[in-house]
């Protein structure tokens, strides 16, 4: 199948349970929202943009097809001769479009930060790509002059990689330290060092900690296996998810929980089965949530269940997810009396796995805050989905375990700063904050998007959410908000997505699902502005301040002309201050003439040639009075190289209306 590229629109604006029996069905949630958002006038999502439920064989077939055509895809994307693609995840929407996530290699080496999502129509035409980096993957040599650094703690064998997550791609060593962290959590600290100079480039933690509540879910149904006299916590209906007893150990799998009568636990922490009940139940509800709401069968979408380990260490006040074991692990809390095994903890930990299998957000900096925030977001979503009267849906984290000993939650999504450390809004240094606290920006955004600002009571819980700009936000309800966040995570975000890019991807997801003129789209823009990420739509126009971008690389003929297109779907005329952002790599930029071409063919000169301008590259933003032009249609950036010898590439360009 021949693949060609058409531009894809990218719209933006910038770690006491009662007796349990497998035969008792969970009760219905009795609490009601007394001041939630009015969603009666909101538009319904475009069914074609929603993901379909792929069976494991269907998903495998799509990944095989992507693997079979990866060379053709790489060629269509104009990747270098030494680059190869490796499909990692895939989403298929009801309209037949397919969104395949790829990792890259360069000369056989893994490219960290080189991931991308390729978007194809039902017919197989590539309509766009979201890349973790816009930089061309290329290094002078793959021979290291510096040895991999030695580590004091037990570690895996260092591997040579291309580090592309920051700036210019660099030959590097990746080392992963083992052992344990200060609080007893397993350690998987990834360190990236320059293979030529030995300089440390980056580090991040591979074990994703989470916190939450425990053993408060009441009577629940468990997925178990076996027959009278011999049952086990093996949920064959959910990918074979199993729950094990570590019995205070800190390594290995432990012992699978078994029982003679299929009645598990007694609601107390002294009964070892009780914590297992919560963990097993939480895993089941989370599985059902992702499958029934988002069409995703299991953490990786491949129908395979992860597994849970309870009773980790002693007095361990945390829980964590590890990609390396594909498992959740839970401590028993202070005095071993408050296991961190409740519904929102399970959902939080499993969602770390979903993030790893999709966007792969690096657990450091702003992407780390988004990673942690995503787990809190889906923990709340799973609570609302489960509809359990003993643990009602709320926008709090750790509200029942009382780790602090004062009856307060660990986190508040409506006003994150109430915990004393989390951040309500974005600021320039937030990437240096611990990810559990920088996640406050994402949590606050999601609460505002779901419920809106101001005082209200939902399921008996009182909230009062402020905004950075002191302007109100109208919520759209959690059901629409969760669809927008999941679509952005699974189809658009990449490993190094930051808050500005999260705004871009969620707006794009809202436009796909509900339309760019929808109330949902406007709410996304307003909720981000309310946490100081971008601005609100201007002049009452829901699309005001929108951006459209083409990030596909176009080689500039030497000499000759090339055009890079952007398709705009927007009512009315273009503004008198249309911003044209240009990123071009080219030695001796004086060779270049650059024009913006409107849909009707009218050309607006951005840059003339100059025999005296010997500087390199064009990275600039131009302002064009395009008020006489219809906004909707295909706009083009036309670049002409009038002299031979010096060559270059259009890396990307964007229009800001």
pLDDT score at 653? 92
pLDDT band at 192 (very low <50, low <70, confident <90, very high): confident
| CB burial of residue 406 (10 Å; 0-12, 13-18, 19+) | exposed
- CA gap 122, 130 in Å, rounded: 18
> What is the number of structural domains in the chain?
2
- Answer whether residue 426 is part of any domain: no
Average pLDDT, the chain: 86
Distance of CA 427 to the CA centre of its chain: 20
Rounded to an integer, the average pLDDT of 124-141 is 89
Q: Which candidate in 241, 311, 436, 586 is catalytic?
A: 436
- Answer whether residue 586 is part of any domain: yes
HSE-CB for 526 with a 13 A CA cutoff = 25
595: pLDDT strictly greater than 70: yes
178: pLDDT strictly greater than 90: no
- CA gap 256, 50 in Å, rounded: 37
pLDDT score at 194? 87
Count CB-CB contacts under 10 A for residue 230: 11
- CATH code for the domain of 83: 3.10.450.490
Rounded to an integer, the average pLDDT of 405-427 is 90
- Answer whether residue 584 is part of any domain: yes
Q: Which of 131, 152, 187 is the last residue of a domain?
A: 131
Active site residue 119: no
581: pLDDT strictly greater than 80: yes
pLDDT top residue among 399 and 602: 602
- CA gap 26, 128 in Å, rounded: 44
Query: For 258-301, what is each residue's pLDDT tens digit?
Result: 998 888 888 888 899 999 999 999 999 999 999 999 999 999 99
Domain range holding 100? 47-131
- Answer whether residue 489 is part of any domain: no
Query: For 205-249, what is each residue's pLDDT tens digit?
Result: 776 543 222 365 778 888 888 888 888 999 988 899 999 999 999
pLDDT score at 402? 63
- Answer whether residue 515 is part of any domain: no
- Answer whether residue 110 is part of any domain: yes
Which SS3 state, helix, strand or coil, does residue 584 take? strand
- Answer whether residue 618 is part of any domain: yes
Q: Which of 81, 114, 131 is the last residue of a domain?
A: 131
Residue 87 contacts residue 67 (beta carbons within 8 Å): yes
Query: For 474-505, what is each residue's pLDDT tens digit?
Result: 999 999 999 999 999 999 999 999 999 999 99
Beta carbons within 8 Å of 379's beta carbon, 6+ residues apart: 212, 343, 344, 345, 347, 348, 351, 397
- CA gap 527, 418 in Å, rounded: 19
- CA gap 415, 257 in Å, rounded: 40
Angle between helices 440-451 and 365-386 (to 10 degrees): 40
- CA gap 524, 215 in Å, rounded: 35
Residue of 257, 255, 282, 277 whose CA lies nearest to 267: 277
pLDDT score at 9? 37
438: pLDDT strictly greater than 80: yes
Active site residue 436: yes
pLDDT score at 100? 96
Q: Which of 131, 150, 172 is the last residue of a domain?
A: 131
pLDDT score at 208? 52
39: pLDDT strictly greater than 50: yes
Q: Give the H/E segment covering residue 435.
A: helix 435-438
- CATH code for the domain of 605: 2.60.120.260
pLDDT score at 646? 79
What does DSSP say about strands 327-331 and 307-312: parallel, antiparallel, or unpaired?
Answer: parallel
Query: For 536-575, what is each residue's pLDDT tens digit?
Result: 885 333 334 578 888 888 889 988 999 999 988 777 788 8
Q: Which candidate in 83, 103, 174, 349 is catalytic?
A: 349
What does DSSP say about strands 200-205 and 170-177: parallel, antiparallel, or unpaired?
Answer: unpaired
Rounded to an integer, the average pLDDT of 640-649 is 85
- Answer whether residue 602 is part of any domain: yes
């Amino acid at each position: 199948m021949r693949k060609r590229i058409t531009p894809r629109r990218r719209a933006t604006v910038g770690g006491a349970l009662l007796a349990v029996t497998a035969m008792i069905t969970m009760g219905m949630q009795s609490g009601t929202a007394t001041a939630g958002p009015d969603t009666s006038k909101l538009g319904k999502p475009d069914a074609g943009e929603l993901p379909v439920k792929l069976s494991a064989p269907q998903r495998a077939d799509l990944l095989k097809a992507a693997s079979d055509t990866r060379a053709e895809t790489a060629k269509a994307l104009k990747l270098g001769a030494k680059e190869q693609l490796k499909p990692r995840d895939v989403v298929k929407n009801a309209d037949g479009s397919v969104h395949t996530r790829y990792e890259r290699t360069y000369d056989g080496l893994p490219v960290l930060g080189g991931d991308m999502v390729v978007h194809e129509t039902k017919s197989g035409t590539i309509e766009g790509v979201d890349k973790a980096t816009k930089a061309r993957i290329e290094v002078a040599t793959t021979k290291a002059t510096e040895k991999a650094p030695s580590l004091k703690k037990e570690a895996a064998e260092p591997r040579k990689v291309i580090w592309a997550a920051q700036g210019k791609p660099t030959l590097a060593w990746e080392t992963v330290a083992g052992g344990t962290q200060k609080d007893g959590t397993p350690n998987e600290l990834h360190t990236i060092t320059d293979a030529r100079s030995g300089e440390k480039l980056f580090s991040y933690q591979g074990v994703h900690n989470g916190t939450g509540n425990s053993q408060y879910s009441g009577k629940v149904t468990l997925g178990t296996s076996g027959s009278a006299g011999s049952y086990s916590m093996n949920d064959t209906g959910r990918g074979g998810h199993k729950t094990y007893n570590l019995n205070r150990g800190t390594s290995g799998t432990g012992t699978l929980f078994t029982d003679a009568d299929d009645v598990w636990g007694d609601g107390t922490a002294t009964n070892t089965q009780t914590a297992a009940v919560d963990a097993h139940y939480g895993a089941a509800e989370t599985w059902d949530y992702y499958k029934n709401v988002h069409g995703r069968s299991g953490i990786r979408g491949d129908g395979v269940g992860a597994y849970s380990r309870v009773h980790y260490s002693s007095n361990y006040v945390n829980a964590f997810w590890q990609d390396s074991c594909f498992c959740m692990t839970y401590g028993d809390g202070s005095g071993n009396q408050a296991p961190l095994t409740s519904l929102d903890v399970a959902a939080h930990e499993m969602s770390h796995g979903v993030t790893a299998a999709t966007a792969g957000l690096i657990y450091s900096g702003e992407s780390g805050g988004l990673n942690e925030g995503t787990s809190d977001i889906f923990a709340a979503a799973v609570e609302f989905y489960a509809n359990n009267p003993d643990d009602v849906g709320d926008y709090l984290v750790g509200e029942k375990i009382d780790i602090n000993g004062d009856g307060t939650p660990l986190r508040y999504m409506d006003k994150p700063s109430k915990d004393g450390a989390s951040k309500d809004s974005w600021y320039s240094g937030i990437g240096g904050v611990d990810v559990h606290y920088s996640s406050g920006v994402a949590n606050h955004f999601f609460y505002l998007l779901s419920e809106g600002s101001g005082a209200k009571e939902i399921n008996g819980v009182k909230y009062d959410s402020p905004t950075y700009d002191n302007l109100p936000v109208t919520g759209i309800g959690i059901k629409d908000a969760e669809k927008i966040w999941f679509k952005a995570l699974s189809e658009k975000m990449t490993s190094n997505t930051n808050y500005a890019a999260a705004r871009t991807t969620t707006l794009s997801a809202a436009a796909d699902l509900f339309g760019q003129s929808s109330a949902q789209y406007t709410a996304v823009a307003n909720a981000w502005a309310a946490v100081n990420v971008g601005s609100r739509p201007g002049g009452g126009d829901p699309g005001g301040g929108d951006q459209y971008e083409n990030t596909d690389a176009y080689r500039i003929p030497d000499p000759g002309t090339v055009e890079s297109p952007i398709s705009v779907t927007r009512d009315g005329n273009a503004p008198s201050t249309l911003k044209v952002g240009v990123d071009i790599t080219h030695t001796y930029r004086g060779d270049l003439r650059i024009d913006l071409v409107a849909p009707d063919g009218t050309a607006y000169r951005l840059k003339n040639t100059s025999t005296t301008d010997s500087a390199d590259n064009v990275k600039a933003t131009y302002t064009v009075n395009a008020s006489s032009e219809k906004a909707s249609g295909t706009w083009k950036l036309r670049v002409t190289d009038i002299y031979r010898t010096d060559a270059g590439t259009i890396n990307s360009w964007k229009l800001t209306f």
